[in-house]
Chains A and B, each alone.
Chain A
Amino acid sequence: MNIQILPNWFKKVALITFIVSYIIVGFDSFIDGVVDGFIGQPYEYSEVAKSQRMLDFVGSKTVLNYLEIVALLSIIAYVITKEKVEDDYIKILRLESYQLSFTIIIFVGIVFILFDKDELFGLFDSITLFLWLYLIIFFINKRKD
Chain B
Amino acid sequence: MRNLVKVERARFNLTQAQLAEKLNVSRQTIHAIEKNKFNPSVYLALKMANFFNVTVEYLFIIEEEENRVLALKMQFKMD
Binding site for B on A (CB under 8 A): 83-85, 87-90, 92-93, 142, 145
Give bound CA distance, A34 to B69, whole Å. 74
| Chain B residues, Cβ within 8 Å of A93 | 28
Q: Which residues of B contact A142 (CB under 8 A)?
A: 28
Is A89's CB under 8 angstroms from B20's CB? no
For the complex with contacts A142-B28, A145-B35, 7 further pairs of A-B residues with Cβ separation under 8 Å are A84-B26, A85-B24, A88-B41, A89-B26, A89-B28, A89-B29, A145-B27
| Contact residues of A: prevailing secondary structure | helix
Find out whether the CB atom of B32 lies under 8 angstroms from the CB atom of A145: yes
Contacts of B29 in A (CB 8 A): 87-90
Number of interface residues of B (CB under 8 A): 15
On whether the beta carbons of B31 and A145 are closer than 8 Å, the reply is: yes
Cross-chain contact A87 with B26 (CB below 8 angstroms) = yes
Q: Which residues does chain B contribute within 8 Å of A89, judged by CB atoms?
A: 25-26, 28-29, 32, 38
**Interchain CB contact under 8 A, B28 and A145:** yes
Contact (Cβ within 8 A) A85 B25: yes
Listed by A's residue number, 28 A-B pairs whose Cβ atoms lie within 8 Å are A83-B26, A84-B26, A85-B20, A85-B24, A85-B25, A85-B26, A87-B24, A87-B29, A87-B44, A88-B29, A88-B38, A88-B40, A88-B44, A89-B25, A89-B26, A89-B32, A89-B38, A90-B26, A90-B28, A90-B29, A93-B28, A142-B28, A145-B27, A145-B28, A145-B31, A145-B32, A145-B35, A145-B37
